[in-house]
């Protein structure tokens, strides 16, 4: 197996020999007994003349091809979400094209499950906005997704967070939008660790007080809600909320630190999944969910246990830079030909971070071709002056 020199925190280098990858299947063998969405990344176009800090350039063929791999693994696609750098390099114009292309591709794949993010990111956040501005922005995006035949993931709104004066303002906006949707939606509560502009969402800095507001909104609109994804990276808060959900409303875990135990659940209930980490660990996630569906919970945990340190590393603070690790994994595993990201976000993590990611991905058996992964890791090291 290949050996290369990886940098250490003390400034030295350590010889690291890769392991034999795990033999995960490339297709799902049976339906899962948990709903599982992967929030999918986009593949940038490295040959575009667009300035990556100012314009969005996407390799559409590679982007859609990766979604096809996720469907083959039995995973659904949560489209145009924060993993796709939505609002962090991917603007609404590019998001519309992504949603249109992704929905069109899904129509040709039997059983493909897809839901698309609708938010207000084309509206510049400002305390001077009024609630009607936010409502109109949500309505525009909801109408677009529904007009393309898509299901809605109702994303948290930076504009609403900026202008809301009270919890009642959140209730008013969500009630108005949910009264208009054609079919039940997924609500997305994205914590401030993922997006600092969403601090104080639902009108409270305290998550438990915010949860009360959110639960009241869910209860008032339960017929229009399939479920809620919460991304607070706190399993106890998720379990508390899960046990208080209205009948028929699913909890979709967005906890990239504790997903295995939350999906497995307890004697009271369980979480389905809508996870950014499922993009990076898709083969392992599929194999684990397959085992779980077949009644082998021990194998489910055995597969996912070594992926958790990798996920916690990818999503470490500043959590909003996790997309860099997700795309790095895709490149190491040959799902794209370059390590270039929308907005130039490949520079958002340090070389030490990427080296540790390489070690942890190897430990999880997720470097599918160690020779390829090692060659690519060496090329990154070389650009930063490390001879490996």
Residue 104 tokens read as 């069109």
For 365-379, what is each residue's pLDDT tens digit? 999 999 999 999 999
CB within 8 A of 260, min separation 6: which ones? 288, 300, 301, 304, 305, 308
Residue 147 tokens read as 């007009």
For 12-28, what is each residue's pLDDT tens digit? 999 999 999 999 999 99
CB within 8 A of 274, min separation 6: which ones? 37, 39, 78, 153, 186, 188, 229, 252, 253, 254
Q: Domain-by-domain residue ranges, the chain?
A: 3-383
Tokens 């999880």 belong to: 364
For 204-217, what is each residue's pLDDT tens digit? 999 999 999 999 99
Dihedrals φ, ψ of 192, to 5°?
-65, -20
Alpha helices (runs of H) in 305-350, residue ranges in sequence order: 307-314, 322-332
Q: What is the mean pLDDT of each run of 10 residues along the chain (388 residues)?
A: 94 95 94 98 95 92 98 98 96 97 97 97 97 98 98 98 98 98 98 97 98 98 98 97 98 97 97 98 98 98 98 97 98 98 96 98 98 98 89
Contact 42, 90 (CB under 8 A): yes
Q: How many angstroms separate the CA atoms of 297 and 314, rounded?
A: 25
SS3 254: coil
Pick the CATH number of 3-383 from 3.20.20.70, 2.60.40.3950, 1.10.260.40, 3.20.20.150: 3.20.20.70
Task: Determine if the pTM surpasses 0.85.
Answer: yes
The total number of residues written for the chain in this structure: 388
Compute the mean pLDDT over every residue in the chain, rounded to the nearest whole number: 97
């Amino acid at each position: 197996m290949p050996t290369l020199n990886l940098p250490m925190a003390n400034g030295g280098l350590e010889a690291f020999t890769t392991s034999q990858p795990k033999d995960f299947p490339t297709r799902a063998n049976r339906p899962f007994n948990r709903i599982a969405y992967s929030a999918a990344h986009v593949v940038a176009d490295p040959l575009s003349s667009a300035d990556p800090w100012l314009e969005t350039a996407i390799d559409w063929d590679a982007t859609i091809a990766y979604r096809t791999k996720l469907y083959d693994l039995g995973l659904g696609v949560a489209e145009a979400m924060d993993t796709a750098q939505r609002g962090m390099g991917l603007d609404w114009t590019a998001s519309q094209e992504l949603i249109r292309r992704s929905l069109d591709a899904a129509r040709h794949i039997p059983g493909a499950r897809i839901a698309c993010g609708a938010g207000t990111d084309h509206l510049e956040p400002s305390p001077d906005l009024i609630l009607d501005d936010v409502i109109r922005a949500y309505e525009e995006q909801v109408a677009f997704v529904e007009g393309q035949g898509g299901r809605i993931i109702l994303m948290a709104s930076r504009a609403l967070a900026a202008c809301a004066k009270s919890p009642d303002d959140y209730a008013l906006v969500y009630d108005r939008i949910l009264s208009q949707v054609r079919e039940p939606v997924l609500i997305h509560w994205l914590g401030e660790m993922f997006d600092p502009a969403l601090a104080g969402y639902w009108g409270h800095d305290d998550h438990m007080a915010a949860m009360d507001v959110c639960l009241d909104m869910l209860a008032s609109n339960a017929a229009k809600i399939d479920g809620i994804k919460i991304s607070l990276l706190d399993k106890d808060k998720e379990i508390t909320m899960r046990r208080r959900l209205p009948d028929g409303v699913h909890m979709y875990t967005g906890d990239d630190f504790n997903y295995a135990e939350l999906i497995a659940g307890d004697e009271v209930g369980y979480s389905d999944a809508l996870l950014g980490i499922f993009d990076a660990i898709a083969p392992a996630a599929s194999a684990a969910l397959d085992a779980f569906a077949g009644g082998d919970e021990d194998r489910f945990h055995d597969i996912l246990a070594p992926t958790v340190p990798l996920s916690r590393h990818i999503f470490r603070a500043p959590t909003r830079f996790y997309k860099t690790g997700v795309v790095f994994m895709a490149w190491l595993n040959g799902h794209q030909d370059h390590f270039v990201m929308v907005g130039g976000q490949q520079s958002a993590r340090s070389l030490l971070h990427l080296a540790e990611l390489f070690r942890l991905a190897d430990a999880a058996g997720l470097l599918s071709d160690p020779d390829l992964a090692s060659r690519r890791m060496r090329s990154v090291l070389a650009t930063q002056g490390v001879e490996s």
